[in-house]
A and B are shown apart, each in its own frame.
Chain A
Amino acid sequence: MSLDSKIPPGPLADKWTNHKFKSKLVNPSNKRKQKVIVVGSGLAGASASATLAELGYQVHCFTFHDSPRRAHSIAAQGGINAAKNYQNDGDSVYRLFYDTVKGGDFRSREANVYRLAEVSSNIIDQCVAQGVPFAREYGGHLANRSFGGAQVSRTFYARGQTGQQLLLGAYSALSRQISLGAVTMHTRVELLDIVVDDGHAKGIITRNLETGEIACHAGSAVVLATGGYSNVFYLSTNAKNCNVTATYRAYKRGACFANPCYTQIHPTCIPPTGDAQAKLTLMSESLRNDGRIWVPKKAGDKRPANSIPEDERDYYLERKYPSFGNLAPRDIASRSAKEVCDAGHGVGATGVGVYLDFSHAIKRLGEDTIRARYGNLFHMYQKITGDNPYEVPMKIYPAPHYTMGGLWVDYNLMSSIPGLFVIGEANFSDHGANRLGASALMQGLADGYFVLPYTIGNYLATEKVEIADTDGEAFKQTKEEAVSVINKLLSVKGTKSSSHFHRELGKIMWEYCGMSRDDAGLKKALEQIPQLREEFWNDVSVLGDNDSYNQALERAQRVADFLEFGELMCLDALTRTESCGGHFRAESQTDEGEAQRKDDEFSYVSAWKFQGVEKTPELIREELNFENVELAVRSYK
């Protein structure tokens, strides 16, 4: 099998315009007859649902939350990039495109990324029109800031809650379509499986979380907007309920999973305090603008931070990367933190953490300036840890934050199953091996507002899809299989909660498939995960039944999928023997110990095709061709 990315011909800057023109349109009277199923109501799902409904399609949107306003997009703090060049500092569509391709360490598609940069401006216009209260200057125009090491100020923001405001904007557009009857909203309904018939996605099987009702929904096309899989690590900055179930079950039905090992580990999170920890909290990266990162020079030094003299502190980022210092890219900052902690220099009771110190900045700028810049973040930190960062340094540690991998999609955002579209973090398309700060919100909304609504029309117009009968064989069989998984879980009647297995899986993934990987470790993980999975199926305890609100059952199903998915991630990491983007492969480093990319061998997308749970999936390579940018080597020295 080979994968066709369907990248349109022609010059880079004209591809999307030409492609839109060449895409077939659905006649307005026929749009009413087409029913699109959207799973997920975050930035991508809500914006796609609203826009498709505005166009005249019947839309059914599903979320496992109690309301479409709760998706984890809401927690994004920093901002959203757009190539507006409002600051006249030399930004352009091409520069945003170039920064994104380079930031992704040359492992993304040029054409997709260019389109993303191209529509970024429309997103800001759209959001302002919806009433999103972006930060403004005194003159009344929109404010921008520089973010994540970018040389231009192109990030738009709404205090520290940009994700919230953008999601509420999309939610308001969605709510309007619900009130008009154009979107049917299904809350507290979780996807169990995708129905594939005759090689096409025909619908989904769902479970109503309140009643346990298993239902079939047929549609002309299915759109997954179900987010990323950072929770495979158990501890991540993702919300507690984020999971891989929808994309993983689509993978089991034949959709290829691309680059599952590409994960982003965020350097500035609050360190874990113990085994009961439920998640890790992200602190905005902007803190690194004024904070200095250090650990004691002497391993095992447990003196309080303020009684360690200057000359006994190791400002390791400033030492190793003099030109970027504390603003070194996320992956470098994260890896360096784990290195110093593994070497015994970690701080705090657990020894898992490094200091982020504002005392110098406070001395230089005054406490009021620091309060104005970071007041809300300091407040949040103090609420969680009980420490006052104006007086003692913060403790930080890296945590999984975003997953660049996802279901493989072509230029039209369609997976390898015709009729199954994947948008937002759930797909793999735009961030390559690493994502730039403030680009996640941009991609989610680009896909939902401005890309999918065009490309899905072309599919519907070309394929002339008939909506399937939910009494048909394909639906019946898929539903039976979904029910059998539930019954199997309920019948184990073991002794351990699903959370126990999830935690154990997380430890394996963090240790062997985290930010630094090697051959021996990954092979060890590939031995341990199947054992853990077997133990799960023999010893998990899921009480209650299927016919009521049963959160233990919901969680167990998600953990069961993570236990299979973790293996796929490790396998992908094992085969990619280069250091690239967010991940470091110990066997592939320069003499100075820096990450070494291998463009000759690995300039491709790894797309995995499912062959059976205990079988090795097939690796399909999509070669990446760079016609417009030159593959540069990153240097932050």
Chain B
Amino acid sequence: MDFTLHIWRQDNNKSSGSFKTYRALDITPEMSFFEMIETVNEKLECNGAGDGRIALEYDCLEGICGTCSLVINGVAHGPNRGVTTCQLHMRSFNDGDHITIEPFRAKAFPVTKDLVVDRSAFDRIIQAGGYVSVNTGGAPDANALPIMRDVADRAMDAAECIGCGACVAACKNGSAMLFTSAKVSHLGALPQGAPERSKRVLKMVDQMDAEGFGSCTNQYECEAVCPKGISTKFIAQMNRDYMRASLSRED
């Protein structure tokens, strides 16, 4: 299979970028999307007169680390549902296709280089309150506090978020509500997270706003591209938690 790639190239977050066109030739349907781009990169890496390697990020290649971050033909993580870019294979495309490849775009995700963006805003949202304040040691026996199985399952549904940021890239408002609500709902559902439930949601939402993420207008684009199928019901849950916590806000 042969493809024509239109790839976003940008030196750093201060320069402006543009699309450049490359050809990917002799690709097999079994190849993953990144293996396909790497065939182009191998040539670029050895051509002193060319543009150099296309910067891009991927790591686990199993859809769990959340490192990869491409918008392919306008869709975060590409055409298939429920997968990350690293789980996309070339059999999902037709021979001769033109493929447009861009970084995740959002105000809060500045471009580091080419297809790589800075998602440290997500870390700062977690740092604002996405934890249970417990030190190592002194934890009670793990079975001391039974937790209903469906509660644990619901927490796990939310906890599956891999922090890739596709939800932000897909949202026309660049909102991080799905990401933030997943952590708020995971910890809020469990008794261990209950004491800090109000404080947590207020601080995390404040941080989300401070980072420049937009608001949610219920378009559900985030849920559609989420590789882990995180449900927007968690956004509703977070809104309820936030309302309740706001009523008793002290600061």
A-side residues, CB < 8 A to B, are 47, 50-51, 54, 65-72, 74-75, 84, 86, 122, 124-131, 133-142, 158-159, 161, 164-165, 168, 171-173, 175-176, 178-179, 185, 187, 210, 239-241, 273-274, 276-279, 281-282, 380, 383-386, 449-450, 453, 493, 495-500, 541-544, 548-552
User: Which chain A positions have C-beta within 8 A of B118?
Assistant: 66
Asked whether B209 is an interface residue with its Cβ less than 8 Å from the other chain, the reply is: no
Asked whether B247 is an interface residue with its Cβ less than 8 Å from the other chain, the reply is: no
Cβ of B132 and Cβ of A70 under 8 Å apart? no
Nearest-CB residue, chain A, relative to B49: A543
Cβ of B152 and Cβ of A74 under 8 Å apart? no
User: Which chain A positions have C-beta within 8 A of B11?
Assistant: 548
Cβ of B142 and Cβ of A128 under 8 Å apart? yes
Cβ of A131 and Cβ of B186 under 8 Å apart? yes
In the bound complex, what is the Cα–Cα distance between A136 and B142 (angstroms)?
11
In the bound complex, what is the Cα–Cα distance between A136 and B18 (angstroms)?
51
- Cβ of B152 to closest chain A Cβ, rounded Å: 5
Asked whether B21 is an interface residue with its Cβ less than 8 Å from the other chain, the reply is: no
Q: What per-residue 1/0 map shows which CB atoms of B118-154 lie under 8 Å from chain A?
A: 1110110011101111111101111101111100110
- Cβ of B94 to closest chain A Cβ, rounded Å: 15
17 pairs, CB–CB < 8 Å, chain A vs chain B: A65-B67, A72-B65, A125-B139, A128-B139, A128-B145, A131-B155, A131-B193, A142-B143, A161-B64, A175-B130, A175-B131, A239-B60, A240-B58, A383-B83, A541-B45, A543-B48, A544-B52
- Cβ of B206 to closest chain A Cβ, rounded Å: 13
Asked whether B187 is an interface residue with its Cβ less than 8 Å from the other chain, the reply is: yes
Cβ of A131 and Cβ of B187 under 8 Å apart? yes
Stretch with Cβ within 8 A of A (4 or more), from B1-9, B156-164, B235-243:
B156-164
User: Which chain B positions have C-beta within 8 A of A175?
Assistant: 123, 126-127, 130-131
Stretch with Cβ within 8 A of A (4 or more), from B26-34, B71-79, B167-175, B216-224:
B26-34
Cβ of A67 and Cβ of B119 under 8 Å apart? yes
Nearest-CB residue, chain B, relative to A127: B142
Asked whether B245 is an interface residue with its Cβ less than 8 Å from the other chain, the reply is: no
- Cβ of A459 to closest chain B Cβ, rounded Å: 19
Nearest-CB residue, chain A, relative to B13: A210
B-side residues, CB < 8 A to A, are 11-12, 28-32, 34-36, 38-39, 41-42, 44-46, 48, 52-53, 55-67, 80, 83, 87, 89, 91, 112-113, 116, 118-120, 122-123, 126-128, 130-137, 139-143, 145-149, 152-153, 155-156, 159-160, 162-163, 186-187, 190, 192-193
Q: Which of B53, B91, B137 sits near A386, CB closer than 8 Å?
A: B91
Q: Which of B58, B91, B123, B187 sits near A68, CB closer than 8 Å?
A: B123
In the bound complex, what is the Cα–Cα distance between A72 and B66 (angstroms)?
11
In the bound complex, what is the Cα–Cα distance between A500 and B120 (angstroms)?
32
Cβ of A138 and Cβ of B53 under 8 Å apart? no
Q: Apart from A133-B186, A176-B131, what are 19 other A-B pairs with CB-CB below 8 Å?
A: A67-B163, A75-B62, A75-B65, A133-B159, A133-B190, A136-B146, A138-B149, A141-B143, A159-B160, A164-B160, A173-B136, A210-B113, A239-B60, A274-B30, A276-B28, A278-B34, A386-B30, A549-B12, A551-B53
In the bound complex, what is the Cα–Cα distance between A549 and B12 (angstroms)?
8
Cβ of A500 and Cβ of B42 under 8 Å apart? yes
In the bound complex, what is the Cα–Cα distance between A72 and B145 (angstroms)?
31
Cβ of A130 and Cβ of B131 under 8 Å apart? yes
User: Which chain B positions have C-beta within 8 A of A126?
Assistant: 134, 136-137, 139
User: Which chain A positions have C-beta within 8 A of B65?
Assistant: 70-72, 74-75, 239
| 9 cross-chain pairs, A with B, having the tightest CB-CB distances, nearest first | A140-B146, A172-B131, A129-B139, A125-B139, A273-B30, A133-B156, A128-B142, A179-B127, A133-B155
Q: Which of A66, A172, A548 sits near B130, CB closer than 8 Å?
A: A172
Cβ of B87 and Cβ of A383 under 8 Å apart? yes
Nearest-CB residue, chain B, relative to A124: B142
User: Which chain B positions have C-beta within 8 A of A176?
Assistant: 127, 131, 133
Cβ of B28 and Cβ of A274 under 8 Å apart? yes
User: Which chain A positions have C-beta within 8 A of B137?
Assistant: 122, 126, 450
In the bound complex, what is the Cα–Cα distance between A384 and B66 (angstroms)?
17
User: Which chain A positions have C-beta within 8 A of B46?
Assistant: 495-497, 541
Known A-B contacts A70-B66, A164-B162; the reply to A131 vs B132 at CB < 8 A is yes
Cβ of B52 and Cβ of A499 under 8 Å apart? no
Q: Which of B31, B141, B156 sits near A158, CB closer than 8 Å?
A: B156
User: Which chain B positions have C-beta within 8 A of A281?
Assistant: 61-62
Cβ of B60 and Cβ of A72 under 8 Å apart? yes
- Cβ of A418 to closest chain B Cβ, rounded Å: 25
User: Which chain B positions have C-beta within 8 A of A185?
Assistant: 123
- Cβ of B238 to closest chain A Cβ, rounded Å: 16
Cβ of A279 and Cβ of B131 under 8 Å apart? no
Known A-B contacts A74-B60, A165-B159; the reply to A172 vs B132 at CB < 8 A is yes
| Secondary structure class of chain B's binding surface, majority of residues | loop
Cβ of A240 and Cβ of B61 under 8 Å apart? yes
User: Which chain B positions have C-beta within 8 A of A548?
Assistant: 11-12, 113
Nearest-CB residue, chain B, relative to A86: B143
Cβ of A131 and Cβ of B146 under 8 Å apart? no
In the bound complex, what is the Cα–Cα distance between A172 and B133 (angstroms)?
9
In the bound complex, what is the Cα–Cα distance between A278 and B139 (angstroms)?
42
Nearest-CB residue, chain A, relative to B41: A497
User: Which chain A positions have C-beta within 8 A of B155?
Assistant: 131, 133
- Cβ of A274 to closest chain B Cβ, rounded Å: 6
User: Which chain A positions have C-beta within 8 A of B91?
Assistant: 386
Cβ of A69 and Cβ of B123 under 8 Å apart? yes
Q: Which of B89, B120, B126, B149 sits near A136, CB closer than 8 Å?
A: B149
Cβ of B53 and Cβ of A136 under 8 Å apart? no
- Cβ of B150 to closest chain A Cβ, rounded Å: 9
Known A-B contacts A139-B146, A176-B133; the reply to A161 vs B160 at CB < 8 A is yes
- Cβ of A172 to closest chain B Cβ, rounded Å: 4
Nearest-CB residue, chain B, relative to A238: B60
User: Which chain B positions have C-beta within 8 A of A47?
Assistant: 136
User: Which chain A positions have C-beta within 8 A of B126?
Assistant: 171-172, 175
Cβ of B39 and Cβ of A276 under 8 Å apart? yes
User: Which chain B positions have C-beta within 8 A of A273?
Assistant: 28, 30-31
In the bound complex, what is the Cα–Cα distance between A480 and B145 (angstroms)?
56
- Cβ of A623 to closest chain B Cβ, rounded Å: 34
- Cβ of B188 to closest chain A Cβ, rounded Å: 10
In the bound complex, what is the Cα–Cα distance between A241 and B192 (angstroms)?
35
In the bound complex, what is the Cα–Cα distance between A135 and B149 (angstroms)?
8
In the bound complex, what is the Cα–Cα distance between A129 and B142 (angstroms)?
7
Cβ of B142 and Cβ of A142 under 8 Å apart? yes
User: Which chain A positions have C-beta within 8 A of B152?
Assistant: 133-136
Nearest-CB residue, chain B, relative to A349: B30
Cβ of B67 and Cβ of A66 under 8 Å apart? yes
User: Which chain A positions have C-beta within 8 A of B160?
Assistant: 159, 161, 164
Cβ of B53 and Cβ of A279 under 8 Å apart? no
In the bound complex, what is the Cα–Cα distance between A544 and B46 (angstroms)?
11
- Cβ of A228 to closest chain B Cβ, rounded Å: 14
In the bound complex, what is the Cα–Cα distance between A135 and B156 (angstroms)?
9
- Cβ of A212 to closest chain B Cβ, rounded Å: 12
Cβ of B38 and Cβ of A140 under 8 Å apart? no
In the bound complex, what is the Cα–Cα distance between A360 and B59 (angstroms)?
36
In the bound complex, what is the Cα–Cα distance between A71 and B12 (angstroms)?
25
Residue of A125, A128, A171, A496 most packed against chain B (CB within 10 A): A128
User: Which chain A positions have C-beta within 8 A of B36?
Assistant: 276
In the bound complex, what is the Cα–Cα distance between A449 and B136 (angstroms)?
7
Cβ of A122 and Cβ of B87 under 8 Å apart? no
Nearest-CB residue, chain B, relative to A135: B152
Cβ of B35 and Cβ of A277 under 8 Å apart? yes
Cβ of B53 and Cβ of A543 under 8 Å apart? yes
User: Which chain B positions have C-beta within 8 A of A140?
Assistant: 146-149
User: Which chain B positions have C-beta within 8 A of A86?
Assistant: 143
In the bound complex, what is the Cα–Cα distance between A128 and B39 (angstroms)?
44
In the bound complex, what is the Cα–Cα distance between A552 and B46 (angstroms)?
10
User: Which chain B positions have C-beta within 8 A of A276?
Assistant: 28, 31, 35-36, 38-39
In the bound complex, what is the Cα–Cα distance between A125 and B139 (angstroms)?
6
